[in-house]
Amino acid sequence: MVKICCLGAGYVGGPTMAVIALKCPDIQVVVVDITKSRIDAWNSDTLPIYEPGLDEVVKQCRGKNLFFSNDIEKHVSEADIIFVSVNTPTKTRGLGAGKAADLTYWESAARMIADVAKSDKIVVEKSTVPVKTAEAIEKILTHNSNGINFQILSNPEFLAEGTAIQDLFNPDRVLIGGRETPEGQKAVQTLKAVYAHWVPEDQILTTNLWSAELSKLAANAFLAQRISSVNAMSALCEATGANVSEVSYAVGKDSRIGPKFLNASVGFGGSCFQKDILNLVYICECNGLPEVANYWKQVIKINDYQKSRFVNRVVSSMFNTVANKKIAVLGFAFKKDTGDTRETPAIDVCKGLLGDKAKISIYDPQVTEDQIQRDLAMNKFDWDHPVHLQPMSPTTTKQTLDYKKIYDSMQKPAFVFDGRNVVDSEKLREIGFIVYSIGKPLDGWLKDMPAVA
């Protein structure tokens, strides 16, 4: 029986390994983590992360060929294939602070593998890492190898939170990069055989190591760039009376462009986009490519601009001050169907409103009060460094809001600011609300109270 061990029981390691175990009954999969509470949660009825469909997959395999354990060294030493899916946050201090990836967790994982390995191993980079990381990892492993052969593969993960299980069941592609040596290619084929249990062969792409590492950063940069592009257009729409939904529909109908990732919003969030683009920017700078670095940096700048534009719109609409005004914030995670609050735009929006002394009440069905308090108290980039305790999935119940009742209980004029363009603005206007929807023609009130960017 092939044995897989995965270091890191987070948003990627947990769901990815659960799906491998489900699809490959002939493979034993053990997920390990340095955080005991995480492993305990994976072994309990309340998993540490919320993902639609995840509970069912884990329940089907746990205890059969899927295990969660704290005994890292034992399982690493027994494994044939080791996935490393540890966090790779943005550095907060030292060289490259605020941009470069912090590979502390990765390096200590590699050193530990070198220390405990007694047989040949395939080590798979599942974490998103800077291009050329495999070279550094190879050096750590081979300098401490005691004659053991290590093959490093890059197998970046493309799942999206909120649809992780669906994405893992039906990936657009699986990417495996390896050394172009006979041993490297043999390792590529071994990993390919794992995915081939359920992914059609023509969707399993094999490349050299550097292409695979860079493709992940490139894919996230392209996705985030689309969001910043449409968000930049949303500002122009508000200034001109165009409607961003109509513009993005018309643009997306062009088959060369396509309709996905063209929704204007208060900005992208999540643990990956900003971190990976900053990392890309840093790599470009280190390679003497300042123009390329600046090009990608602009994607982040527009995202920050969009968040502050939203806050400014709220404040300016309410007579240029929200001091002591009560504001309800609906939704806090960075998108629906997840409890993940890392880099959620809600943090910047709430901090902006708090900075103007608003009284805010926040509700998200997937996020605990404790987590929200922690997020609002933390400095930028700090979220991924202390062990990030995940919100327990409290409820999945969908709730409907009685906007008429809400309106009746509010001070007038009553406002709704829609950072996702999800409410029925016409209905709310009929009730009496002043509604701001990103990139949509402005209500008369909002036109008279222009936001200062």
Is 349 in contact with 401 (CB distance < 8 Å)? no
Which one, 89 or 352, has the nearer CB to ligand NAD? 89
CB-nearest residue to ligand NAD: 10
Our finding on whether 125 is near ligand NAD (CB under 6 A) is: no
Integer Cα distance of 453 and 439 in angstroms: 15
Binders in 224-283 for ligand NAD, by CB under 6 A: 271-272
Q: Is 272 a catalytic residue?
A: yes
How far out from the chain centre does Cα 154 lie? 19
In three-state secondary structure terms, 146 is coil
Tokens of 134: 């495999």
Binding-site member from 20, 41, 51, 85 for ligand NAD (CB under 6 A): 85
Span near ligand NAD by CB under 6 A; candidates 3-11, 327-335, 375-383, 414-422 = 3-11
For residue 212, how many C-alpha atoms fall within 13 Å in the half-sphere facing its CB?
A: 27
Which one, 217 or 235, has the nearer CB to ligand NAD? 217
Which one, 10 or 184, has the nearer CB to ligand NAD? 10
Tokens of 253: 């109908």
Integer Cα distance of 321 and 318 in angstroms: 6
DSSP codes of every residue in 43-75: TSSS-SS--TTHHHHHHHHBTTTEEEES-HHHH
For residue 99, how many C-alpha atoms fall within 13 Å in the half-sphere facing its CB?
A: 15
Which one, 6 or 302, has the nearer CB to ligand NAD? 6
Going by C-beta distance under 8 Å and a sequence separation of 6 or more, which residues neighbour residue 104?
none
Tokens of 448: 């008279």
Binders in 375-394 for ligand NAD, by CB under 6 A: 387-388
Catalytic residue among 6, 272, 284, 350: 272
Our finding on whether 105 is near ligand NAD (CB under 6 A) is: yes
Our finding on whether 162 is near ligand NAD (CB under 6 A) is: no
The verdict on whether residue 272 carries a ligand-binding annotation is: yes
The verdict on whether residue 8 carries a ligand-binding annotation is: yes
Our finding on whether 124 is near ligand NAD (CB under 6 A) is: no
Tokens of 293: 């670095």
Q: Spell out, one character per residue from 5 to 44, where the chain touches ligand NAD: x when CB under 6 A holds, - when not.
A: --xxxxxxx------------------xxxx--x------
- Burial class of residue 103 in the structure, from the number of CB atoms within 10 Å of its CB (0-12 exposed, 13-18 middle, 19+ buried): buried
Q: Minimum distance from CB of 174 to ligand NAD (Å)?
A: 13
- Would you tell me which residues interact with ligand NAD (CB under 6 A)? 7-13, 32-35, 38, 72, 85-88, 105, 108-109, 127-128, 157, 159, 161, 271-272, 387-388
Q: Which residues are catalytic?
A: 272
Query: Binding-site residues for NAD(+), please?
Result: 8-13, 33, 38, 86-90, 127-128, 161, 272-275, 342
